[in-house]
Structure 1
Amino acid sequence: MKTIHQACYEILRNQGLTTFFGNPGSNELPFLKDFPSDFNYILGLHEGAVVGMADGYAQATGRPTLVNLHSAAGTGNAMGALANAWNSHTPLVVTAGQQVRAMVGVEALLANVDAASLPRPLVKWSSEPSCAQEVPLALSRAIHTAGTGAKGPVYLSVPYDDWEQEAAPGVDYLATRRVEMAGVPTPATIQNLAQQLEEAKNPAMIVGPDVDAAEANGLAVALAEKLAMHVWMAPSAPRCSFPTTHACFRGLMPAGIASISRLLEGHDLVLVVGAPVFRYHQYEPGEFLPQNTRLIAITCDINEATRAPMGDAIIAEIAPTLEALNNAVTKTSRPMPAAVRRPEPAPAEAGRLAPERVFDIIDEIAPRDAIYVNESTSTTNILWQRLRMTEQGSYYFAAAGGLGFALPAAVGIQLAKPERRVIGVIGDGSANYGIQALWTAAQYNIPTIFLIMKNGTYGALRWFAGVLQAENVPGLDVPGLDFCALARGYGVEALHADSAESLTSALRQALASNKPVLIEVETRA
């Protein structure tokens, strides 16, 4: 007799989901029973950190990753992190234990009442199978749903008495199934788009996170060079999809309606690839586009295509579409854009370090293929201006804007990319939302570098208070935090930096280490 438990582990093994991230409760123990030796379980101390680590790992590998949470309570703790995963198209297969079937109706302790509804609308698909024999099919469906189309998280609730039940006949077919997308526009659509780009007098391109996720940065560069286009990263970009040192690159777009419209003035055709149109933030009313400017978006997400307030959209896979478009367009005779001048090095000054100085030091010392995970939200624009990010998969940011992503995501990304160094640049306010991931980094010896920008305040909120003219707001300062003590308490080596010299020394020491290191940097507000 093959049990549901055995059948599901065969599916997970054959589909490549052998690394789990979790924080188990009693309902999950029967699922984890007799854990196979060829699987790897990464324990996190809080569900928000668990999903954050899995999010980073899945984005960095590009493959579905399994997360195991505890019923309704664990799912609730993870919802903020799930919002980031949803917005970054992260293929997470989130499983949660449920009370035994006989006890769900009476709402016994740890019953997840209406389990499938709990994580919506932050998942692509959510289910609690109607009987034990449906669990393997539901798991198979969850994996393929997470990993195809516009990728994204899915949710599966399983009563814990299901695992020992007998599997239905034919369950073996599920383990080896393959589901693939082949969404490329027709030749006529590609030819029409190529013609519009060639006929445009001054086309521009805006690239989004799905370009980097599709490993298509080089194709975006080739298209920009063929058409001599100005290129921006989409607003609030959670990934970097174009080399920041390239002559075509103009920087990170602002996140306001009027600001974007002003920036695109003079461009008669705007091609948006792999990004929503647009992910605005602060309310800044105005025209969505300048007069006489047309917009065409290429997106893998039907929801992004249909909710855009302007322009045309093509729903397709990013990499093969860019490749086909490159083959179809003719190289323009327009000269290449002049490169944007890099900012001058920040001056050396006494006292707390200016964020500009911090990023200059990081850029000078870090390897060229370093991966940056950002959650110092008040210094994001400075980061984009001063860090040279040229490699595929060099940058990650919380796609939904929720705090608590960067510190655990940096652990997951480093686990997925051991050949590269991961540097998390994290604000002192943000760090507290995912601080538990330090323990995981220490216990599994994951050599992430955590650089805490310590200015004693929620810098982004202070900026927004000015924008909104909100005076005398409480709760914007976070004094009295000792991140070195916190790190050591979790088992991570910690270094304090309060000058350019001490930061340089600390960063060199961290890069030379094969263990996780936290650097607390005193910075100006």
Structure 2
Amino acid sequence: MPSVRRVSHEFLERQGLTTVFGNPGSNELPFLAELPDSFRYVLGLHEGAVVGMADGFAQATGRAVLVNLHAASGSGNAMGALTNAVASRTPLVILAGQQLRSAVGLEANLANVDAPALMKPLVGWAAEPACAEDVPRALAQAVFEARLQQRPTYLSVPYDDWAADCEDNALAVLDRNVQRASLPSGEQGRRLVEDVTSARRPALVLGGDIDSAGLFHDAVRLAERLGGPVWAAPSLFRLPFPNRHPLFRGVLPAGIAPVSEAFEGHDLVLVLGAPVFRYHEHLPGPYLPRGTRLVQVTDDASAAARAPMGEALVADPGAVIDLLMKVLDAPAAAEAAYRPVPEPQTADGPAMHPEEVFAALRDTLPEDTAYVVESTSTNSSWWRQMDLRRPGSYYFPAAGGLGFGLPGSVGVAMAQPGRPTVGVIGDGSANYGITALWTAAQQQVPLTVVLLRNGTYGALRWFGDLLGVPDAPGLDIPGLDLTRVAEGYGVPSRQVNGAEELRAVLAERPDGPRLIQVDTALTTPS
């Protein structure tokens, strides 16, 4: 009879989960034994970086990805990065090792007591099989749950299970296929169409799920049919709409009052592919202006259930877009005139203004460049200067957890080596995922990291002013030279001074990773 390990490997191979991001411990080695040649194991030097790389890879490919972690300590190290994957609805399948079964109850060293509870409530599903024979079925459930829920799952497997024999019934899992479809009923569709077509001043709010689901261009066509303003939902992790399109009004501020103010004068707000809403700043007020209705369409049932206002339809946003396109009149045949980009601001002194950096990126790099951004204090400068018109152009830590940027950019670049990828990373956030540079060097990932060094946690300084805490300690980080750190990990690096030198360096096209460090003036997110 085949072993649990052999059946599990074959199942993962049939499901296409052959790229494994991991940092193994002793409990994981038995699973990795006899790994087929079709598998690729991508080693990360810290579990947070491992999950960040897998998150970026899964988002860029649109597929579930296998993550291999150690028991309690390794899984615990990954939980900060896991918050971003949960918020971006990334289907990660986390497979963790466990002590052998007879040692778990003894709480032997490296045992993960009550392993599923460790990862809850972050993951959508977590389990440890009751017996070795159930491991292949449980692994299949972990994969299917991740795909169906669009959320990470977690499976803990005692390491002596992998060598156990499977019963013949276990082979049935190899041919399984689970799919999901979610179309509005006839009555639901009729009501939605009536709501939209009868609105006098409709507004559209798009979430990151629109880009994740490949609906970027469809959303543009729908917006042009509606003819009203378009916002991106607050706390944006993917860009669902071209940011210089004449209908685009920007990213909604992450506060209750300013969101309500943005909707003034609109009788209907149609929200597609976003929670309602992921607020951040405590700016209280009414959820909606008087006379404004909100209708949310999402395939995330949890997001629909927890919204504090409005109506919700749990359905595939793509199907709803198709439905609305059939009933809305086509606009006059005219190409949208994209808004021009303003001249970048400059800074006093030797440091560059972030707008100068972003203008250089925009002017020098190809239009299809994918940007992974983790520099919160430069947010307003970013949106003033960038012109992003392609799907998959923008990635941001979905839960705001630092440490996604560098690993995420490695994962995105690995997923699409034919598309330029740039990580725009602040010097503060870089240190949370710095070990990803080693993986980039080992894999020879075609990645450019633009490291913005301002010597402080700029976003925290802005928040300190917002909260009335101007004297908080621990906000400055002087003395960092990330070029030397990157060189130590095997990534060629250089310090760049001035806009012209930056443009010249960006124009180079190296085959592998590189890091460009630029000193920038302190700016605020808004």
**Pair in the same fold by TM > 0.5:** yes
**Do structure 1's residue 515 and structure 2's residue 512 form an aligned pair?**
yes
Distance 1:408 1:231 in 2: 31
Point out 4+ residue stretches in structure 1 off by more than 3 angstroms: 330-333, 335-342, 347-350
2:129 matched to which residue of 1? 129
Distance 1:16 1:188 in 2: 38
TM-score (norm 2): 0.97
**Do structure 1's residue 5 and structure 2's residue 5 form an aligned pair?**
yes
**Do structure 1's residue 264 and structure 2's residue 263 form an aligned pair?**
yes
**One-letter amino acid matched to 1:139:** L
* Cα deviation, residue 383, structure 1: 1.2
Distance 2:457 2:344 in 1: 26
- 3-state SS in 2 of match to 1:426: strand
- 3-state SS in 1 of match to 2:431: helix
Bigger shift: 217-226 or 22-31? 217-226
Say whether the 8 Å CA contact 1:4–1:136 is kept in structure 2. yes
- 3-state SS in 2 of match to 1:478: coil
Distance 2:258 2:24 in 1: 46
* Cα deviation, residue 322, structure 1: 1.5
* Cα deviation, residue 247, structure 1: 1.5
- 3-state SS in 1 of match to 2:42: strand
Distance 1:466 1:43 in 2: 41
- 3-state SS in 2 of match to 1:374: strand
Across the aligned residues of Structure 1 and Structure 2, the Cα RMSD in angstroms comes to: 1.6
* Cα deviation, residue 458, structure 1: 0.1
Distance 1:265 1:141 in 2: 46
Say whether the 8 Å CA contact 2:59–2:212 is kept in structure 1. yes
**Do structure 1's residue 307 and structure 2's residue 336 form an aligned pair?**
no
1:106 matched to which residue of 2? 106
Say whether the 8 Å CA contact 2:346–2:353 is kept in structure 1. no
* Cα deviation, residue 390, structure 1: 0.8
Residues 357-398 of structure 1 show CA distances to partners (whole Å, capped at 9, x for unaligned) of 111111111110000101001112221221111111111000
Matches within 5 A, 1:12-161: 12-148=12-148, 150-161=149-160
Distance 1:242 1:435 in 2: 31
2:449 matched to which residue of 1? 450
Say whether the 8 Å CA contact 2:139–2:155 is kept in structure 1. yes
Distance 1:14 1:402, change over 3 A: same
Distance 1:58 1:21, change over 3 A: same
**One-letter amino acid matched to 2:31:** F
Distance 1:58 1:338 in 2: 34
Say whether the 8 Å CA contact 1:99–1:110 is kept in structure 2. yes
Matches within 5 A, 1:272-287: 272-287=271-286
Say whether the 8 Å CA contact 1:231–1:250 is kept in structure 2. yes
Residues 297-332 of structure 1 show CA distances to partners (whole Å, capped at 9, x for unaligned) of 001111110111110001112222211221233347
- 3-state SS in 1 of match to 2:63: coil
Gaps of at least 5 residues in structure 2 are: none
Distance 1:325 1:180 in 2: 24
* Cα deviation, residue 338, structure 1: 8.3
Which of 517, 521, 524 is the matching residue for 1:524?
Answer: 521
Residues 30-59 of structure 1 show CA distances to partners (whole Å, capped at 9, x for unaligned) of 000122111000000000000000000011
TM-score (norm 1): 0.97
% identical aligned pairs: 51
2:193 matched to which residue of 1? 194
Distance 2:240 2:154 in 1: 29
Distance 2:321 2:177 in 1: 25
Say whether the 8 Å CA contact 2:20–2:42 is kept in structure 1. yes
Distance 2:384 2:173 in 1: 48
- 3-state SS in 1 of match to 2:257: helix
Distance 2:247 2:129 in 1: 51
Gaps of at least 5 residues in structure 1 are: none
Distance 1:384 1:198 in 2: 32
Distance 2:421 2:335 in 1: 33
1:438 matched to which residue of 2? 437
Say whether the 8 Å CA contact 1:212–1:240 is kept in structure 2. yes
